[in-house]
Structure 1
Amino acid sequence: MAMVQVPPRAQRDAGAVRDGAPAAGPALAGVWLVIGGSLSVLLGVTGIAEDSLFHLAGGYAYRFDLTAWGWINLVIGVAVGIAGVGVLAGAPWARTAGLLTAAASLISQFMFIPYYPWWSISVMTLDLLAIWTLGRFDPVRR
């Protein structure tokens, strides 16, 4: 079975930033970060307003006041959204910020699962996709 040889230029161009704009992979990660951040902000605003949408069944180790969870999700959501816009703009700091904020969002959404599981799992999926994509991107390659 013959192995496919990838031309050096294609390897070099796979994840490069050109003229300040990210390639397809990082751009997609930026979109995922912006969407996930927006969803976290909506979740945070709903929690701060103490909407009757959230119900906790049984005991839970990470039980905070719903307003506290709202503020946590709001702050993390804003940070994830800013990192996503930075990734889309091709900012040099954005890859690290995107990885860190997506990881923080992933952890907070995991702890929020008992309150609203489908929403949390959806945002966790976006966070994981962004982490995977940004982890594969090497900003040094040009």
Structure 2
Amino acid sequence: MTTAPNPATPGGPGRQATSGNPSPWAAGGTMFAAVLMIITGIFQIFEGIAALAEDDVVFRVRGYTFQFDLTTWGWIHLILGILVLVVGIAILKGTTWGRALGIALTGLMIIFHFLWLPYQPFWSLIAIAIGVFIIWALCTDRSEPAF
């Protein structure tokens, strides 16, 4: 069975119109990005609360003892977690500012994982690939909000 090219579709057969039918991969990627950001935001909030509640950590590395005050990191995790959670919800609602902040936060995540590449190469490459997919999905999906 053959199909005739649809003249209304820009680019000819096999191409999807950007304003008509959204790509299922982009729509699924956007949903994935939003849910991932919501879950990450919740975990960041819990990490921030845990660091603020028990802010003195002592550990031993190769004969040296280090003591850290985690109050600053706790506040950073707490604020960043709230921001990521709100952005994830905004992406699900289909807001433009949510997509823009989602792209910006994911771009920062890619840069941080690139810098972490010498220390954890396997995980960094996976995180960079997921980040690139999320940015692509947020930039190309034009479907309706999830709720």
TM class by smaller structure: 0.5 to 0.7
Match of 1:8 among 16, 19, 38: 16
Match of 2:100 among 96, 99, 108: 96
Alpha-carbon separation, structure 1, partners of 2:99 and 2:86: 11
Structural mapping, 1:14-93, within 5 Å:
14=23, 23-50=27-54, 55=59, 57=61, 65-93=69-97
TM-score w.r.t. length of structure 2:
0.58
Find the structure with the greater CA-based Rg.
2
Q: Deviations over 1:29-79 (max 9, x none)?
A: 1000000111111100000101678857478xxx96301111000100110
Structure 1 unmatched runs, 5+ = 17-21, 112-120
Percent of residue pairs identical? 24
TM-score w.r.t. length of structure 1:
0.60
Match of 1:135 in 2: 136
RMSD: 4.3
Number of aligned residue pairs: 120
Q: One-letter code of the match for 1:72?
A: I
Structure 2 unmatched runs, 5+ = 1-12, 117-122
Instruction: Classify 1:92/1:131 alpha carbon distance in 2 versus 1 (closer, same or farther; 3 Å).
Output: same
Relative contact order, CA 8 A, sep 6+: which one is greater?
1
